[in-house]
Chain A
Amino acid sequence: MPAVLEIEGLRKTYKSRRRGTRNALDGFDMRVDAGQVHGFLGPNGSGKTTTLRTLLGLIRPDGGRMALLGHEVPGALPTVAGQVGAIVESPQFFPHFSARDTLSLLAGAGEVPAARVDEVLELVGLRDRAGERVKTYSLGMKQRLAVASALLKNPKLLILDEPANGLDPGGIREMRTLMRTLAESGMTVVLSSHILGEIQLICDSVTIISLGRRVAFGPVDEVLAQHSSGAVRVRLEAVSDLPAATDALTRAGVRVTGHPDHLMLAGVDKPATVTRLLAENNLYVSELAPVAVDLESVFLELTATAPVPGQHRQVDESTKVGGTGQPGPTGGGWGA
């Protein structure tokens, strides 16, 4: 499948006399294949928005290579800009214009037919409020308008930074459906969001960034599988058999954590071997359940941003790629 977005070794460094040098992007890589809905995840200050801004020519990179729809950017941005719709960070519009005026002016600048304005207003549910000034809009309505502006070009690649921000539950579901519909129509969607449940539901693949570097990427299932611990929860018919079961499993090389009414096993490739082993020792299983891992737990594990009771994690405290994954204050985090 051809790549519509490729980033290799992207670097962006901010230098400040007061705050020193910070690497917002530190050799970041990313690839998005055509027709996918791709999730772009990272904690606050990890470099997501810097990546998107750099990709779209708003920020000058210090190194690396980027390509959109097969064209090297930023050099070829004028060529591909008409095929890339994007919203970056919070929606920002001139507050005294109506939604229709805002979109109409963008359509004029981009040589998009005026009829497309009404189409996208209908698509994002702003048809009946299109004549009102943007300053009267709620955050969710501004978000819808931002998505409408990105869709105006009918792009091949749609880049949305936190599109569900401020949306009500119904709006989030509508947005999810819209993303899927767009992907089915052949559009590639890159979605940056912190609502990981949504990402897991609608994305085909993900890239996770932490401190300006990629820490995980690939199809969602693969990323989950890679970070699945192979944990299995076992209950026996008789609670009194738990110590014997612990002995048997430990002797077989399985890591066992005991609990009052069940055992947690780690590093189990095939749960069936557990059943067989226990049955051979006349211990009978009443429940054997693989513990599923979700995107949120993988994200928290990879970025080491899980909350710790009694500690207040600072925005730049995250994990270093290739390191031990221990959280700690490091440089980075500007401009993201």
Chain B
Amino acid sequence: MSLYRTELRRLAKRRFTRYMSLLGLLVLAAVVIGVFFTNEKIGADQLARAERQAEQNYQEQVTWAKEARASCEQAKSAGTANDGRYPEDCSVITPPPRDQIQAEWFLPSTFNFRETFAETLIPFAAILALVGFVVGASFIGAEWSTGGMMNLLLWRPKRLTVLLTKLAALLTGILAVTLPAAVLWFAGFWAVASFRGSTEKMTSGVWQSFALTGLRGVVLVLVLTTVGFALASLGRHTAMALGGVVAVMVVGQFGLGILLSMASVRFAEAWLLPTYALAWMTKKVTLQDWNSCNANYSGECEPNTFDITWQQSSVLLSVGVVVILGAALWAMRRRDIS
């Protein structure tokens, strides 16, 4: 227990931990503030303005159609209408029906908590997962590269206990940042919705769904924190984790994505990790093959689809954590420390 408390103290004392956490929280705050200032509450004024703008737009369309028809007829009578600029029959140039131009198009952006909040949990999890990854990698990587780990093992010569205690302290620290941040995130967007949108139709089922999405976000943060920690421990340096993730993302993801696209592989996104992270957060990602055509009852072409579910993502995340952390533990147990 003393080692766990000490490692928590060590984590909190590290400037990198403090600065990265602060940076992550500032980015999250910036997102909330940005959403606040780019949204408006929809009231009678906004609706009336939108109606006026829709009407104005319709009148512009009418004027334009009139002018275009006149030009068409003029060109026809002058015998210069064969350059493809005008249709054969100038009377087909008509404005759209009034009801086709909807006032909703001209409404300002508004934040509907029920419809939009779940999407905001994706950047929330992504930002904190990134913070967790680099803090986790640095926490153990710096210990290895500065000799701190060797010093610690001279005091506590139980290698696996030391490594797992460090990981436990790290995850506790990340949770200590993530959970209050999640509460503030909910509260912040509730405030945004209250002042710049709508909080209507919030049932207990919706709250439950948000809570579960938030929980999956927290799990994603913890998983990536663990992966960063384990990679840096394997390579005995922070750069190992950071370099590893850059290599995986650039070569393994962008490169693979381009290659699969060039090879016209069906559902190429199914081979890319971010798809699984997205599926984990949104419960399901449906991939479409636009080269295929399935005629529906109305004769329209519909592409083949392939669903990636959060359960499949959970298997991938679990296997990833087990393999990478297992390798770090195995290396910790086996290797000579110099």
Contacts and interface: CB of A to CB of B under 8 A. Distances in A.
Contact of B150 (A88, A95, A105, A111): A88
Interface string A63-87: 0000000000010011001001010
Contact of B154 (A81, A91, A108): A81
Contacts of A321: none
Nearest to A74: B157
Contacts of B156: 78, 81, 109-110
Contact of A94 (B9, B143, B155): B143
A86 B13 contact: no
Contact of B146 (A58, A84, A95, A101): A95
Interface in B47-95: none
A247 to B, nearest CB: 61
A106 B148 CA distance: 10
Interface in B315-338: 334, 336-338
B151 A106 contact: yes
B338 A58 contact: yes
Contacts of A153: 155
A60 B157 CA distance: 13
Interface centre among B9, B142, B151 (most CB of A within 10 A): B151
A82 B337 CA distance: 20
B148 A93 contact: yes
A255 B121 CA distance: 93
B9 A77 contact: no
A56 B3 CA distance: 19
B154 A56 contact: yes
B236 to A, nearest CB: 13
Nearest to B2: A111
Given A58-B150, A92-B150, A110 B13 contact: no
A56 B157 contact: yes
B166 to A, nearest CB: 11
Given A108-B6, A109-B155, A335 B143 contact: no
Contacts of B33: none
- Interface SS majority for chain A: loop
Contacts of B146: 92-95
B26 interface: no
Given A53-B338, A92-B146, A86 B154 contact: yes
Contacts of B98: none
Contacts of B10: 105
Interface in A91-127: 91-97, 101, 105-106, 108-111
Contacts of B336: 53, 58-60, 335
A96 B157 CA distance: 24
Contacts of B13: 97, 101, 105
Given A93-B147, A93-B151, A109-B3, A57 B157 contact: yes
Contacts of A192: none
A162 to B, nearest CB: 15
Contacts of B147: 91-93
A60 B2 CA distance: 27
B15 interface: yes
A126 B31 CA distance: 47
Contacts of A305: none
B27 interface: no
Given A81-B155, A81-B157, A109 B2 contact: yes
A233 to B, nearest CB: 47
Given A57-B153, A108-B6, A92 B337 contact: no
Nearest to A59: B336
Nearest to A134: B146
Contacts of B148: 92-94
14 contacts: A53-B337, A56-B154, A56-B157, A58-B336, A78-B158, A91-B147, A92-B148, A93-B151, A94-B143, A96-B15, A101-B13, A105-B6, A108-B3, A109-B155
A-B residue pairs, 6 tightest by C-beta = A92-B147, A108-B6, A77-B157, A58-B337, A59-B336, A110-B155
Given A81-B155, A91-B147, A108-B9, 17 more contacts: A53-B336, A56-B154, A57-B153, A60-B334, A77-B157, A84-B154, A93-B146, A94-B142, A96-B15, A108-B2, A109-B3, A109-B6, A109-B152, A110-B2, A110-B155, A110-B156, A149-B151
